[in-house]
Structure 1
Amino acid sequence: MTSSLVPEKPIQVSPSLASTIGLEEATMLSILDDLAQHRQSQWREGYQWLEIDQTGVAKHMPFWNDYDVQRISRSLRDKGILLLASAPYSSSRVLQFAFNERQQSAAKAAPAPRTHNVVTPGASLIPPNWQPSDETLTRIAQHNIPEAFVREQLPEFVTYWRESGESHRSWGSKFLQQIVRKWREHETFLGSRDQESGIGAHWRPSHDALEVLITHANINRAFVEDAIPEFVLYWQERGDKSRTWNSKFIQHVRRQWARFTSALAHDTEPTRLPENWQPGKDVDDILRLANIDADFAQQLLPEFILFWRDSNQLHTSWNTKFLQHVKYHWAKRHALTPYSLSPQANAHAGQQPPGSTSRTRDRSISEQLTDRSWAY
């Protein structure tokens, strides 16, 4: 009984072969073996050579793109299972292959003549040890193509043209054309593949993103800089990929800034920290927007209260002071930014510097926004 869920002939893959050479390799090998039994082939030096064009590949391997076909066929070649005479599939769109099994009887019965061996005046076959001249390499370098990429393509270039048996007047020009074409395809492939990427440990917003926040949104530069490490840490831990890290950062900073300026909108008379003081809801909202764990902030609260009660100092906004205290220790805990041991930084962290008898003066909202010592 044939199931309606299988509308066409299935691909048979040997489980033991798949476990040995890989599932993709075993699948391609099964397809090529089936095609070899139904297609006209050509015998050369005891090997049965077949050629499949782009239409045939798309018909029999529709689940792989051009780069998959190139990658898997190369893997079979590297494992010694296939012989490849065609240029990389992504550039040639032709798969010319032979199973690495020499059959002397078939070779004698049907010797294959060399094809495409058209000799023109001044032309020659490519030598087995051919190398591009310095002039050719200089012309390639003018296209900003890395030398490592050029050297990587050289063996396949020589192998392909020796197998084809064709003669050319200038192998340097031929090589130049092929390298330029393949480099453009390589860049296109990398561009499409790397559109989405994870955020690196040293990521920074672009110049345009900073200009949007600082110049157009009038957000304090120090506030923007302080938001970078916590933003990077949050998205690194999530492991997400994105094409729009700058846009995400702009939204992140704008939300934090709105909460922060709202919390500082009331500049009241300085007061001593109450014994039973608790941070306001605005602090919780800002910490949440900064992706700082609420439990971590709560663990710092007793130490914060004890220090500032003992110091007997007055401040206009204990919410802001606690927010700075938490952000400092969060950055220090995760080694997000190099922190100094300056008296100002220690004081903001809730530690009185040794031998210090001076009192911290109350500062205006502007001074609070521009003070970054707590972040170090």
Structure 2
Amino acid sequence: MAHSLIPERMLVVSPSLAATIGLEEALMLHALNDGKQPHDENWSFINKGTLRDWLPFWQDADIKRILKSLSDKGIVHFNSPPFGQSEQLFYSFEEKAPSDSKRSRNEQAFEQAKQQYKQAIHPDWRPDTETLKYIEQTLGIPKRYAQSQLQDFVFHYQSQGTLATSWSTMFIRWVNKRFKEDQAHPAVFQGDAQRKQAMWDSWQPQAATLDILQKAGVEPSFIQDCVSEFVLFWMEKGEAHDTWNTKFVAWVRRQWARFSASLAHPSDPVPMQDGWEPAVEVYEILEMANIDRQFAQSLIKEFVLYWRDSNQLHTSWNSKFLQHAKHIWSKRLNGQGNSATSQRDHTANTSIADRVQDLSWANDL
């Protein structure tokens, strides 16, 4: 009787999958898919011994490393101790949270332990090469687009104080979600023109750009007040770009994220008090718009005077002042034809009396 040249179970791997996520990851993914056994409606499991038997050319350390790579890429989600620390590996190809009643004591203990490994995002965090490769080759999202989202991603989660076990996975989800939203407006994100142009004083965002921002929850007045400061900033830099609308979306999103995280917290309405000063966060948000502290401070006196005399109550005077400062700066720039004049020049050339007499801003807040 002839003996088979292949006496063991064959390992099958998709060439295109291996080219996309890596050969090791593709082999592991096929093994997890072929060997999965149902645990409940949310999770499957595979025995530790099964993986070792099917993948004898890898040590436990190799298996653990490859499983982590799949987790970091957001391809497989685990709900058990790391490989080698328990007899079974619980996982899902879709991120789902099982009910506490269906989780074993070991699983619940692991969940508690996992919380200790969550970390805040570092200001200098960057996605690794494999993450960018997955975004580009698996999700079909251009690498340039993913990199353009990095600053907003880091800033958003810094502002929120979010903790996570895998920032690579979080970044993949962020980019994928933003890309799908932005693809609904191809006129904005496929280039504003056929060639690069320097910023000009009459530039305005496209209607599709405004729609993107409003659907993201940004107030229309906040968006409009960003236009003049955006134009001034890029006119002074003198750079040419072919994606001004894309840059404007990022500009507004960044400011709105900080505004929402720091200032937009309703509280009991209170009256304006003598000696009121804006919070530090107000100056930081204005600085993001290139409106410096000196300009903002020049507006405090009439702002306090007006609202104190009005006897009105508001939940956040910081939010009111931020909107006021951005509105005044935007209006002054428009009145000057958006000429490249700095905030300090404007403050020096505009008298307190002139600013006190102009109270049109109060009707807009």
Larger Rg: 1
Q: What TM-score, normalized by structure 2, do the two folds share?
A: 0.38
